[in-house]
């Protein structure tokens, strides 16, 4: 059976990819330029159905399926192959990266932060948080109960380490594979929304660490949909480089720009921390970094947000405004203190040379809060 087609005038998607609930059903859209046929398999309880999506320009396939709703599970089949694949734009993977995608209706969440006005970098105290280790439970709900204590400590901004889903039961988050799906390890998507909502209630801003320089090696099915997600034209120490400027790169750029917009608009994050920006390779006239910053700010408007970049060379161009041929970031992350301290811990002579006891130095090394040097704006970090 073929899914119903919807003209752009009848339904305006919030985002170009993924499953979006609409009146009477769900609208699906996926980019699979090498495929000739894309089949959608949907399961709801004990029932299941199969629908064929309609091809569009530029390799997209889409369709509206009446009767589908939030909570239903689905997978894609490309060109009749046996393997079933999760949606690259999946909003939730309840069984992990190898399982089916779940339809999520973000509009069902009731926000209470209408009076929140956003945040700037000046005079902030930024606390880096790993949800999986912050509490014994390792969930967003458990972490939200500790927010008042962080506020009493003097923290003003939380930097949440990457949360998009990855393989395994524990990880830092830097090898994520489901870019739009908050990991099932910490709870449901609405639990993440609830955490941000409670943080704003406690007077705390929340920025999200995102990784756009590579994808994790396991559970990554992007290349099954298009080999053009990646490129071998650049050397990247973290994995295959993302194709931001090669053949067929326009939908790839759209995918990651959409991802930045998604976290800001659907989860009310107060900004982004861009991981390893030196590995975002782009020879385009407009660099992807500049577009990411611009897109994130537009998604948050009229509220202000913070965009920070990790950049090992500490290239000041990232912080210059666009009118000065820069990318417009608010600050650069500097790992020098934590990296040097960790290196010193490996040397038996280091504690004595620095006048520190081995126990104290070891404690310092285990602290997961890093130093943010806000080169331009005078922020601080605990």
Please report whether residue 91 resides in a domain.
no
Q: Is the domain of 38 the same as that of 187?
A: no
What's the number of domains the chain is made of? 2
The answer to whether residues 211 and 276 touch, using CB atoms and an 8 Å cutoff, is yes
Across the beta sheet with 47-52, what order do the strands follow? Answer: 47-52, 38-44, 73-78, 101-102
Q: Residue written as tokens 């199969």?
A: 50
Q: 3-state SS of 57-117?
A: HHHEEEEEEECCCCCCEEEEEECCCCCCECCCCCCCCCCCCCCCEECCCHHHCCCCCCCCC
Give residue-wise pLDDT tens across range 111-150.
999 999 999 999 999 999 999 999 999 999 999 999 999 9
Q: What CATH number did the domain enclosing 69 receive?
A: 2.60.40.10
Q: Which residues of 207-246 are buried (b: 16+ CB within 10 A; e: fewer)?
A: bbbbbbbbbbeebbbbebbbebbbbeebebeebbbbbbbb
Q: Mean pLDDT score of the chain, rounded to an integer?
A: 89
Q: What is the pTM of this model?
A: 0.88
Q: Is the domain of 142 the same as that of 53?
A: no
The Cα angle at residue 26 between residues 20 and 29, in degrees rounded to 5: 60
Q: Dihedral of CA 15/19/25/27: which sign?
A: positive
Q: Is the domain of 78 the same as that of 140?
A: no
Q: For residue 366, name the pLDDT band (cuts at 50, 70, 90).
A: very low
Q: For residue 371, name the pLDDT band (cuts at 50, 70, 90).
A: very low
Residue 375 has pLDDT above 50, yes or no: no
The answer to whether residues 121 and 156 touch, using CB atoms and an 8 Å cutoff, is no
Please report whether residue 115 resides in a domain.
no
Determine the number of helices (DSSP H) and then strands (DSSP E) in the chain: 10, 20
Which of 56, 85, 114 lies at the terminal end of a domain, its last residue? 85
Please report whether residue 319 resides in a domain.
yes
Number of CB atoms found within 10 A of residue 303's CB: 15
Q: Look up residue 2 and give its DSSP letter.
A: B
**Looking only at Cα atoms, what is the longest distance across the chain?**
73
Q: Is the domain of 226 the same as that of 147?
A: yes
Give residue-wise pLDDT tens across range 200-253.
999 999 999 999 999 999 999 999 999 999 999 999 999 999 999 999 999 999
Helix (H/G/I), strand (E/B), else coil: 354: helix
Please report whether residue 162 resides in a domain.
yes
Structural domain containing residue 164:
125-381
Q: Is the domain of 148 the same as that of 52?
A: no
Q: Tally the residues of the chain.
A: 382
Which of 32, 67, 85 lies at the terminal end of a domain, its last residue? 85
Catalytic residues: 275, 310
Q: For residue 348, name the pLDDT band (cuts at 50, 70, 90).
A: very low
Residue 194 to residue 184: CA distance in whole angstroms: 15
Contacts of 49 (CB under 8 A, 6+ apart): 1, 41, 42, 65
Q: Is the domain of 219 the same as that of 367?
A: yes
Residue 122 to residue 124: CA distance in whole angstroms: 6
Which of 33, 64, 85 lies at the terminal end of a domain, its last residue? 85
Give residue-wise pLDDT tens across range 77-106.
999 999 999 999 999 999 999 999 999 999
Q: Is the domain of 339 the same as that of 273?
A: yes
Residue 311 to residue 91: CA distance in whole angstroms: 29
Q: Is the domain of 75 the same as that of 135?
A: no
Q: Residue written as tokens 């990819």?
A: 17
Q: Pick the residue with more confidence: 353 or 339?
A: 339
Q: What percent of the chain has pLDDT over 70?
A: 85
Please report whether residue 10 resides in a domain.
no
Q: For residue 372, name the pLDDT band (cuts at 50, 70, 90).
A: very low
Please report whether residue 281 resides in a domain.
yes
Residue 3 has pLDDT above 90, yes or no: no
Please report whether residue 178 resides in a domain.
yes
Q: Is the domain of 74 the same as that of 154?
A: no
Q: Is the domain of 64 the same as that of 162?
A: no
Q: What CATH number did the domain enclosing 191 receive?
A: 3.20.20.80
Q: Residue written as tokens 């320089």?
A: 213
Residue 362 to residues 99, 131, 343, 346: CA-CA distances in angstroms? 40, 22, 11, 10
Q: Is the domain of 46 the same as that of 194?
A: no
Q: Is the domain of 69 the same as that of 189?
A: no
Please report whether residue 90 resides in a domain.
no
Q: What is the mean pLDDT of residues 269-280?
A: 97
Residue 295 has pLDDT above 50, yes or no: yes
The answer to whether residues 280 and 237 touch, using CB atoms and an 8 Å cutoff, is no
Q: For residue 337, name the pLDDT band (cuts at 50, 70, 90).
A: low
Give me the pLDDT at residue 334, please: 78
């Amino acid at each position: 059976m073929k899914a119903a087609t919807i003209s752009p005038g009848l339904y305006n998607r919030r985002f170009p990819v993924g499953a979006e609930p609409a009146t009477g059903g769900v609208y699906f859209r996926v980019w699979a330029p090498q495929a000739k046929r894309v089949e959608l398999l949907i399961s709801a309880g004990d029932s299941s159905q199969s629908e064929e999506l309609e091809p569009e320009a530029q390799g997209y396939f889409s369709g509206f399926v009446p009767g589908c709703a939030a909570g239903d599970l689905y997978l894609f089949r490309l060109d009749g192959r046996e393997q079933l694949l999760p949606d690259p734009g999946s909003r939730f993977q309840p069984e992990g990266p190898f399982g089916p995608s779940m339809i999520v209706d973000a509009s069902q969440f009731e926000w209470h932060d209408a009076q929140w006005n956003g945040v700037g970098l000046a005079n902030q105290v930024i606390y880096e948080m790993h949800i999986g280790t912050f509490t014994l439970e390792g969930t967003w709900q458990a972490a939200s109960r500790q927010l008042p204590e962080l506020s009493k400590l003097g923290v003003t901004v939380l930097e949440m380490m990457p949360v998009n889903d990855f393989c395994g039961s524990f990880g830092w988050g830097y090898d994520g594979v489901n870019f739009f799906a908050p990991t099932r390890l910490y709870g449901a998507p609405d639990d993440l929304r609830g955490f941000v909502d409670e943080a704003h209630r406690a007077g705390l801003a929340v920025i999200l660490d995102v990784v756009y320089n590579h994808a994790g090696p396991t559970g990554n099915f992007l290349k099954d949909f298009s080999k053009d997600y990646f490129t071998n034209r650049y050397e990247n120490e973290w994995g295959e480089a993302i194709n931001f400027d090669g053949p067929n790169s326009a939908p790839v750029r759209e995918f990651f720009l959409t991802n930045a917009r998604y976290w800001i608009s659907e989860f009310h994050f107060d900004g982004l921390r861009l991981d390893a920006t030196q590995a975002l390779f782009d020879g385009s006239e407009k660099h992807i970094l500049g577009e990411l910053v611009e897109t994130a700010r537009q998604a948050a408007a009229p509220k202000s947000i913070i965009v920070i970049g990790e950049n090992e060379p500490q290239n000041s161009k990232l912080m210059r405004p666009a009118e000065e041929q820069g990318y417009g970031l608010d600050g650069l992350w500097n790992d020098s203190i934590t990296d040097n301290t960790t290196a010193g811990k490996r040397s038996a002579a280091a504690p004595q040379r620095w006048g520190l006891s081995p126990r104290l130095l070891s404690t310092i090394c285990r602290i997961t809060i890093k130093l943010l040097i806000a080169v331009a704006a005078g922020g601080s970090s605990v």
